[in-house]
Amino acid sequence: AKMPQITLRALFLTFLLPVSAWHLTDSFVGHSFFDGFDFYTWVDPTNGFVNFVDERTARMEEMIWTKDDYAYMGADYKHLAPYGRNSIRVTSKKAWANGLVILIMDHMPGGQCGTWPAFWTAGAQWPNEGEIDIIEGVNKGTVNQMTLHSDFGCEMPWTGRNQTGKVTSIDCNSYADTNRGCSVVPNQLNTYGEDFNHVGGGAYAMELTNHGVKIWFFTKSKMPADIASNDPNPDGWPIPDGNWPFNSNCTSDHFGPQQIIFDLTFCGVWAGAVYRDSGCPGISCNDFVANNPAAFQDYYFGIKSLKVYQ
C-alpha cells in the first residue's frame, strides 16, 4: 500500500522540531507547594543568627502561606529577636538523580543587611554527593552567586566553559579554601534581590546530567516560551549563565541524587563575616537582625512555580 503523503510530511516535520529530552515529573505550585517539603528545625549548620521553625509555627505566624497558584516563604519581620530571628528552611522529600529544575518567582529575598538567602540542592551525604547553589547572596548584595561544592577531587577549568558568566573560583572541594566552592557570577543584570523584583521577577533553571551542571537565569520578559508550556528544551535556549562540565578533573560521581532546599538565614559564617565590609549599620550583624524586624519585610520568596523534569 502507498503511504499517504500527509503521514510522510508529518514524519518529516517531527524530525525538524527540537524534541525536549525532559518530561515533567514533579510540580510544586500554590496550595500543595509545601506538601513536598520537610521543615528543618535544627541548628543552622552555617551558624546563622536564626531559629528555623516548624510548619505549624510558620503558618500561624504567616511566615508561609499559599493562595491559588502562589506560595510565600519569609522570615519573621514583626518581633524583636534577641535569640535569633525566626525563619524558614525547607528540604524536598524527594531527591532526583538527573534532572532539570525550574523555579519561577515574582519576588526573591536578598539585598537587606544581615540576610543570607539561598535556593540550592544537595546530596544526602554532604559533601560526598555534592551541592549546587543556584541562588545565593548576602547583605546588600545585588548579584547572584552560583556555586558547586563537592568532596575531594573536583576542579573546574578557568576558561572554555561556554557560559556567559564569570568564573571566580575553580576548586569545588569543600575542604579547600574554607568551603568556597567553584563559583560563577552572572554578567546579566537583575539576577538577585531588589533588582530582580523591580523587573517583575523571572526564572532560574538548573540542569544536572552526566555531562555536568548548567544554570540559566531569565528575566520575566526573556523567558523561553517552552518553560510556560511545560516542555522545556534547554538545547534551544541561549548559552547558560553558568556551566560546570564534568570531565577527568571532576567526574559525575561527585554529584548524587539531589534534594531541593530553600533557606532564609541571617549573619553566620558568610553574611556575618563580611557584615562590616558591606556598608551595613550597627554594632554587629546579630545586633542589627535582632533589633530591626521591619528591615526584613521584603525578605521572602514569592513563588509562582517550582517544577522538576526528568
> Would you name the residues annotated as active-site residues?
131, 136
CA dihedral of 119, 108, 304, 94, whole degrees rounded to 10? 10
Q: Which pairing describes strands 24-28 and 37-39: parallel, antiparallel, or unpaired?
A: unpaired
> Closest Cα to residue 129, out of 84, 169, 89, 97?
97
Q: Is 109 helix (H, G, I), strand (E, B) or coil?
A: coil
Peptide bond into 127 cis (omega under 30): yes
**What's the DSSP call for residue 287?**
H
End-to-end CA, the chain? 39
Amino acid making up residue 247? N
Exposure string of 72-98, with b = 16+ CB inside 10 Å and e = fewer, is: bbbbbbeeebeebbbbbbbbbeebbeb
Cell of 144: 547572584
Q: What's the Cα-to-Cα distance from 138 to each of 84, 158, 193, 271, 288, rounded to whole Å?
A: 17, 24, 10, 5, 14
Distance of CA 182 to the CA centre of its chain: 15
